[in-house]
Chain A
Amino acid sequence: MKYLARISLFFMASLCIISGCSRQQTSSDRIDLTYAYPANATRDPIIQRALDEFNKKHPEIHVRGLPIAGDYYSKLMVMIAGNTAPDVMWMGQSFGEFAHRGAFLDINREMQPEVDSQKYFSKIIDWYRFDKKLYGFPYGIDCVLFFYNKDVFRKANVPFPQNSWDLQQFLQIAQQLQKTQLAQSTPGFYAFDGGIFPGVFDAHILSKDLSHSVINSNQYIQTLRFNADLVNRYHISPSSAAGISDKNQSFLLGNMAIMNGATWDIPIMQRDATKIDWDVVLPPRGVKRAIWGSSSGICVFSRTPHPQQSVTLLKYLTSPKLQLQICNISGSIPTDRATAKQWADGITTPRHIQNFLKAIPYLEPLPRSVALSEIQSKVNRASEKVMLGRATPREALDIANYQINQVIERQNRLLGYGAKK
């Protein structure tokens, strides 16, 4: 009995000691900020250095960098739920989901000088506005163009694609590539992997004011049909496997003539594409020219105890000087025009890197809706159904339309918006 009591006591005591050991140290009158961003082994040192410089320049502020590995947005959600939210945070595609939930501070007034200076691509800044407020500021632009393997084109005697091409010409070229000797002799060869962006057909998921779904339009039906035909009718694309298929690898091995390539693929390609000659071209135009776009930006937490200092940090993190450093590592287009030009000038491969800058006027982001993740999953289910042949495009999109409207309705009710978006 005494033995047992002794052990339990020891146990409890150690627990107390351990918990005591981790008492936080509070500093005097220095403001402590936290900046959260997605972890990336190659990019983290650069960001840390930038934060160190900021700390030196602003001795009254101390910023702690918080690289988050894994599901970035999920961890942010947990931190906000548990009242440990960072003061300043990186935002990507899910900006709308957090912004419409009131997570961010309105920085319209503070960023007015930057906006007025006209140094930045104003179209991208507008992606961070709604209700006449500005909830974040972008530092990098991402978009998806077509990467193509010049060796494959040369071997197949097919002329390189031009920016001016349209869907018909694209199909022609792809089919030509697929019929060549190279294609027949290489197992797993495909002319194209990816899909055509719905915007090219002037198809949209949500209405302009994000209030309801417009996905069961003829244009979207056309999109799904066209993309399904690429696989099933023209046989120029492989059937898609959800999850991990590494199309980059196929492309690198010369098993893919054209693929959807993003800005963030640039550093990866520069590292890995040692054996092939590749370049980039604007995706073909359809009813109109539209290109998938997104951006990386910085936002300030709406309930931060230090709004002023947080905005100072935000301005620093989105400054042109830092933009060049980070965009070079991440593969992103700087939002400051001059820096963007510098960025493009500093890249030799691909040769037509300027195409990325040419794409900017045509960029269409995914809807900055509060329920983007959920809506996107319904859209994905619809296209999977079509690809699997389990439903016609019309059927699948009717279902998706109904589901998306339900999602929006429920979300509005949850957030008490009522008739507003």
Chain B
Amino acid sequence: MKKVLLPRNHQGQSSDKWAALAFLTPNLIGFLVFTSLPVLATILLSFTEWDPVAEPLSKIHFVGLSNYSLLLGFTHQAHGWIANDPDFWVFTGNTLFFMLAIPLSMALSLLLAIALNQKLRGIALFRAAFYLPSVAAGVGTMILWVWLLNPQYGLVNTLLDAISIHGPNWLQDYYWAKPGLMLMVICTAMGGTAMIIYLAALQDVPQVLYEAARIDGADAWRQFVAVTWPVLQPATFFIFTMDVIGGFQGGFDMAYVMTKGGPDGATSTLSYYTWSQAFQYFHLGYAAAIAVVMFVMIAIITGIVWRFGGEAVRPS
């Protein structure tokens, strides 16, 4: 092991500042140029009305907050206040509704990770089997789910029939379209990244503690609560945060491939809305404003989670 002596402060610890700079630089430069610059550009864009086909970038004109007032504002009409953009509120509701699937999905992933954490022969194949759907998920899987959710012939309703429940019209029904999509997401994602992260995190649980707990007479559940769960907290925080962030920004692929945001806007999420404003209607400024509003919403929620994340969040 090479030992390079660095100047130490009076407590005997080497100064961190230069080391930090060296560690950060490769990532920071790229991050500033390729990640934060576009983000700043997007925020700036939200104060403009730019139609790229009609005007070249040089002729872009600023309109201040008018995009935001159009998006979030209300006007007073004869019979009360109506929203300037009623679709925005409906789609926000859709997005939040879809996120209700997160806790269930996380729990299933944890369950799978624990089950797959055994040192059994061939367990690796099972891990691959469960991870595969989330990885191969694409147009093919989504189209299959359109068929699975077919009211007359789909497998889901056939199974429900077997236990004498009359299944709804799923993707053709205004109220059941979202639950149908959530079913697909849970089935596809339960073996996905969350499971992988939990699998990795489970490696960090000290085996010794399990032994100790068993000797103390703890049952499986008690062992989980006392030994496993605390170690999983940073991972859980990460997964939850990413799921919330992802949830706010998600739903695009499903809407685009399976329902086109229908029926009657029931499955349109904010990301689908942003995309259609930008890439179908060419309202880049407005789309940027929606993106910024989404950012604020995500930041607030994440901030709340951060506050209550406790040990999982703050480095000691």
Q: Which A residues are within 8 Å of any B CB, using their own CB? A: 1, 3-5, 8, 11, 71, 73-74, 76-78, 80-81, 83, 97-98, 101-103, 187-188, 239-245, 303, 371, 373-374, 377, 380-381, 384-385, 387-388, 390, 414-415
Contacts and interface: CB of A to CB of B under 8 A. Distances in A.
A388 B264 contact: yes
Contacts of B56: 83, 303
Contacts of B304: none
B167 to A, nearest CB: 15
Given A374-B281, A377-B276, A388-B174, A243 B260 contact: yes
Contact of A244 (B25, B54, B146, B276): B146
Given A77-B53, A83-B56, A388 B263 contact: yes
A188 B152 CA distance: 8
Contacts of B283: 414
B280 A242 contact: no
A80 B263 contact: no
Nearest to A3: B2
Contacts of A103: 53
Given A1-B22, A390-B174, A242 B260 contact: yes
A245 B260 CA distance: 12
Contacts of B153: 187-188
Interface in B147-198: 152-153, 169, 171-174
B40 interface: no
B53 A98 contact: yes
Interface of B: 2, 4, 22-23, 25-26, 49, 51-54, 56-57, 143, 146, 152-153, 169, 171-174, 257-265, 276, 279-284
A310 to B, nearest CB: 17
5 contacts: A101-B51, A101-B282, A102-B53, A187-B152, A243-B171
A132 B263 CA distance: 41
Contacts of B4: 1
Nearest to A1: B4
- Which of B23, B174, B259, B280: most chain A CB closer than 10 A? B280
- Which of A11, A77, A374, A390: most chain B CB closer than 10 A? A77
A11 B30 CA distance: 12
A73 B22 CA distance: 45
Given A241-B146, A384-B263, A80 B52 contact: yes
B259 A243 contact: yes
B23 to A, nearest CB: 8
Contacts of A4: 22-23
A8 B26 contact: yes
B279 A77 contact: yes
A244 B280 CA distance: 19
Contacts of A245: 146
A101 B54 contact: yes
